[in-house]
Structure 1
């Protein structure tokens, strides 16, 4: 079980001197280390990072130290009463410092001995791996400890495993050397991403939110949709999309926007269960919404040779819009079924006033997109956006931050990054072990063999693997872990690399709202006061189209902007109509309550619209038109009857 730390506002109390449950020297040391970590990475974005191995080693060392301080042994939170500093924590901190000193003092020698380590290298590497595993247990949980341990044991004892797991063994010394003395193991691509892209945007997002961006996005969404049917829920969806694209955590998105939108939805007539479900699905969707996609927009190109940030963002745009179109349709039909109306205009914030008050906050997003299109690295873009934010927020009293607020914001960002940074190290252990054992290739062959070369069964298997393995993990870490494990199998079946990677990314993200381990849903249910289990199933129902969209863009390249403008337009229109009528079928409401057979007709129409085949499309449109005609005719008859009575 992961040990959770205190609420995000606790850092304020450190600087205000109100935390009394822990020694002052420890508070000072923790805050100083977190701030120093932020400054180190900011300096890397401004002036360039050190040589790859040195930078990644420093990065992971800093986050190991932060883990053993902020996730202490034997306490449920950082601010729990502390009588004595745990000797175990102190030993782990000293061990981390010792490993770093050993490696950094002889970094050239390590490079020369890579593959042929001496006994000291093996001992030091073993200790470092154990430190990482313990930090994973504390920050993420045992599930992510089991995976790297399994793959490391498999690499060493591969001849003892049956079936596809059988392989030639790897010497333990070679395994430790590869994992800790090479930039393809624990310090590989996942840690590279965490130490550059992710941490830069976590700091940017923390400062942006602290300056009032979360409230600005929420007010803007309410001003836009609040007077519509189901307006508060639609506002929650839009606000979560705007905020969620900046955040690397769907749970953080729920806590930030949901604390306001969930009570608002409940007060407008939605049940606690539905309100929590809408917020969970909307917050989850923020991870797939360009331009940032919770930092995944910068990670995915690293796994697709010849592509860049712009390619990923453009490809992900239509699927993301379909996701939120489906959610808005679900909300609209749910509100219609319950007879809910929008909020009075007198209770809504004024759109122009909200925009005038908060438009400077949008400049940072403009800065990010501009710098990325100009060819700057995501780390430079993230740090530059942070600087732009710090400048523009000073011009208005309501957004202005003092030095203590900025320091606390950066410190909060570093603390929020701890689980991500440590999980990236775990992903490196998994990928490095699979590289040595060759398991990834055999796993891909297994999917191909079981599916017998048929794409649909292979995609369904991949979907299940992504959802199951992704339970309890953050979106970016799920993708990094699964990209090496399952993407090659569906690429081998003829799926384009972009579609394959986005397919895995989407279903990895959906694991956050899918029972039984649905952390995003649980967080929303906690705010709403609903049952986590029933909320999870309701969220899956409301987000049903999100489980179909990845199949749609695999079979329809136009949804990823592959093809002529006409083909892309037809594909988008067909898919858009499909998710709307699917929502109506699921909710049992279109223009009015649907009969059972009408719901079946709309469900059939939705399935026919998955691919933009002209014959299927014509049949689907005919079915939808028939149901719409009957609903309108029935509505007119009911109104006539009401007038006569």
Structure 2
């Protein structure tokens, strides 16, 4: 009995769309909240607390209907799930019904009624239960510890103790202000994230998804290891739109991984390629999932400035994966795809060039200073209109219903995660935990910047285990970023450092969720997949450190210095890939791998004199050993 209770408390539930009347309820709610967010993103005007309550009131009750309380597979929610859903909905409705009062009440002076207190407790318990069902042990345990710390932390001696907090004060902060459940993370989910995910689904439904696959195949399909390179490029594009490494692996990996295995790639390697490519989508402009919006909210830096600063880092990350795939393919003798399996580039562009327009409109709107929500709305409208260019891709009413239903179903876990993250941020604000955490980091590192960055990276990976990237970023932005800022690190590189490592947490063992998903598709060992994916993503563990030490990698500085940095950094990534794979034109010795690794670090580090010297040494090494830089030549036959 005890074992059953323990398993129930610490296991994730089973997610599945309900059937029958419950499905129609889900569709009605999904269409309602989708229409509301479209209105809000386009012409709506409402206080953040107000629209956050509405968003949570629709989304989280649906989570009770779609996520069962245990792994036991059942099509429809139980009576208990339905009751929980109704209670949670009515609790949010109480706040919405009395919205004018809650917007005007003075925190700390106006007492909460008994009903207000009950509503607050219901919402917190509901978020806790949904966190357990949806996200599992990782974030749930952090949430439980955070709440316990708020209620009993005043008993702790020393630095980590805090003043006693009453139940009313805690509920007031976590539920009846914009510092808790209805704070910045949920606000981002309700606006930017929801609309950009909607844009992605409209984009794929309009036929753009097939256009992207054909375009990637036309560009890199004939190259050595063409199929794996197609997987890298397609996963990168779809990963940027979805912002979820796990869902991207599940979507593109279900096609890419079996195809790579069929062409001769080891199952572990095929899964690792998909994992590393999909996980990098979070750092790939122009969309970057929803993390960039959260970063803009936390830092006050414009979204456009964030994506410009991320361009070079994302480019180097994917070149690192691409080069390693090339070396592995050469080593295995895996050449490009057959000509008859590759669409012609001219034909692909002729029949699908118009799919570029929605992305151009999206970037143009953000560059002109429109809010990301409005930019996403313009992108959605443009995509809808573009779909009518061809009869076969026209988005009709039935497909619009399918799009909004899919969007709501897939954004529910993110909403649960952001609500939970809001509670943790509220606890941090109430207890002053951020300052205490900063003191702990400094105590461990002696206020040395490099070692503080190492500790920060470790915390990102630790907190990101089993957790969506946006949620992990929210936590470290509240806990770790203040320590970085206090050390004198600028705001932009400090937060981009955290974003990169939160994205990499989806890869790293022992609990890289994207690695587990890919391993399931490939029928491979998830730990081995995680280790191989970490190796493929190795440049991603280096670049964030360079952000901090030199701004050129953030596209800051003179044109000449940026161009030189780009050229030498690409050479450095190439050398790093050869070192990690142990292969260039032929197998490398251990000494050569170490030499190339040191040369790579020296070329990636943005220092002009050092870059020129090491690039020269590298080129001399290449030509003296008859190892010319590759042309990634086209091949005529497949593996």
TM-score scaled by length of structure 1: 0.91
Structure 1's unaligned 5+ residue stretches are 11-21, 636-645
1:406 aligns with 2:394: no
Deviations 1:580-613 (A, max 9, x none): 1011011111122212221121112123224233
Return the offset for 1:358.
2.4
Q: Provide the residue aligned with 1:251 in structure 2.
A: 246
Return the offset for 1:633.
7.7
1:151 aligns with 2:146: yes
Report which stretch shifted further, 567-576 or 504-513. Answer: 567-576
Return the offset for 1:49.
4.2
- After superposition, the Cα gap between the structure-2 partners of 1:117 and 1:371, relative to the gap in structure 1 and judged at 3 Å, is same
Equivalences for residues 282-431 of structure 1 within 5 A: 282-305=277-300, 307-431=301-425
Q: Provide the residue aligned with 1:96 in structure 2.
A: 88
Deviations 1:514-544 (A, max 9, x none): 1111111122222222221211111111111
1:199–1:417 Cα contact (<8 Å) kept: yes
Deviations 1:93-121 (A, max 9, x none): 22113212322222233341532323332
Secondary structure class of the residue paired with 2:23: helix
1:513–1:519 Cα contact (<8 Å) kept: yes
Return the offset for 1:251.
1.6
Alpha-carbon distance between aligned partners in 1 of 2:180 and 2:580, rounded to the nearest angstrom: 46
Equivalences for residues 5-16 of structure 1 within 5 A: 5-6=15-16
Alpha-carbon distance between aligned partners in 2 of 1:42 and 1:560, rounded to the nearest angstrom: 33
1:230–1:335 Cα contact (<8 Å) kept: yes
Return the offset for 1:450.
1.6
1:207–1:389 Cα contact (<8 Å) kept: yes
2:13–2:133 Cα contact (<8 Å) kept: yes
Deviations 1:433-488 (A, max 9, x none): 10010001111122122211211110000000000101111222221222111111
Q: Select which of 139, 164, 177 maps to 2:159.
A: 164
1:73–1:88 Cα contact (<8 Å) kept: no
Q: Select which of 478, 481, 491 maps to 2:485.
A: 491
2:12–2:70 Cα contact (<8 Å) kept: no
Equivalences for residues 448-463 of structure 1 within 5 A: 448-463=442-457
Secondary structure class of the residue paired with 1:294: coil
Alpha-carbon distance between aligned partners in 1 of 2:374 and 2:195, rounded to the nearest angstrom: 8
Alpha-carbon distance between aligned partners in 2 of 1:634 and 1:331, rounded to the nearest angstrom: 18
What root-mean-square deviation, in Å, do the aligned CA atoms of Structure 1 and Structure 2 show? 2.0
2:207–2:387 Cα contact (<8 Å) kept: no
Secondary structure class of the residue paired with 1:154: helix
Q: Provide the residue aligned with 1:13 in structure 2.
A: none
Return the offset for 1:490.
1.2
1:535 aligns with 2:529: yes
Alpha-carbon distance between aligned partners in 1 of 2:158 and 2:325, rounded to the nearest angstrom: 48
1:114 aligns with 2:110: no
Alpha-carbon distance between aligned partners in 1 of 2:256 and 2:85, rounded to the nearest angstrom: 41
1:254–1:280 Cα contact (<8 Å) kept: yes
Deviations 1:257-290 (A, max 9, x none): 2222223322332222111111111111111110
Alpha-carbon distance between aligned partners in 1 of 2:574 and 2:259, rounded to the nearest angstrom: 25
Alpha-carbon distance between aligned partners in 1 of 2:458 and 2:401, rounded to the nearest angstrom: 42
2:568–2:615 Cα contact (<8 Å) kept: no
Alpha-carbon distance between aligned partners in 1 of 2:105 and 2:115, rounded to the nearest angstrom: 14
1:224 aligns with 2:216: no
Q: Provide the residue aligned with 1:440 in structure 2.
A: 434
- After superposition, the Cα gap between the structure-2 partners of 1:413 and 1:365, relative to the gap in structure 1 and judged at 3 Å, is same
- After superposition, the Cα gap between the structure-2 partners of 1:384 and 1:634, relative to the gap in structure 1 and judged at 3 Å, is closer
Q: Provide the residue aligned with 2:274 in structure 1.
A: 279
Return the offset for 1:489.
0.8
Alpha-carbon distance between aligned partners in 1 of 2:371 and 2:625, rounded to the nearest angstrom: 54
Alpha-carbon distance between aligned partners in 2 of 1:101 and 1:513, rounded to the nearest angstrom: 40
1:267 aligns with 2:262: yes
Alpha-carbon distance between aligned partners in 2 of 1:446 and 1:263, rounded to the nearest angstrom: 46
Return the offset for 1:75.
6.0
Alpha-carbon distance between aligned partners in 2 of 1:616 and 1:163, rounded to the nearest angstrom: 47
Alpha-carbon distance between aligned partners in 1 of 2:533 and 2:13, rounded to the nearest angstrom: 26
Return the offset for 1:74.
4.6
Q: Provide the residue aligned with 1:3 in structure 2.
A: 13
1:601–1:623 Cα contact (<8 Å) kept: no
Return the offset for 1:238.
1.3
Secondary structure class of the residue paired with 2:391: coil
- After superposition, the Cα gap between the structure-2 partners of 1:81 and 1:611, relative to the gap in structure 1 and judged at 3 Å, is closer
Alpha-carbon distance between aligned partners in 1 of 2:605 and 2:98, rounded to the nearest angstrom: 58
How many residues were matched structurally?
616
TM-score scaled by length of structure 2: 0.92
Alpha-carbon distance between aligned partners in 1 of 2:369 and 2:608, rounded to the nearest angstrom: 40
Report which stretch shifted further, 180-189 or 41-50. Answer: 41-50
Alpha-carbon distance between aligned partners in 1 of 2:530 and 2:98, rounded to the nearest angstrom: 51
Equivalences for residues 231-246 of structure 1 within 5 A: 231-246=226-241
1:273–1:535 Cα contact (<8 Å) kept: yes
1:33 aligns with 2:29: yes
Deviations 1:29-52 (A, max 9, x none): 122222222112112122214222
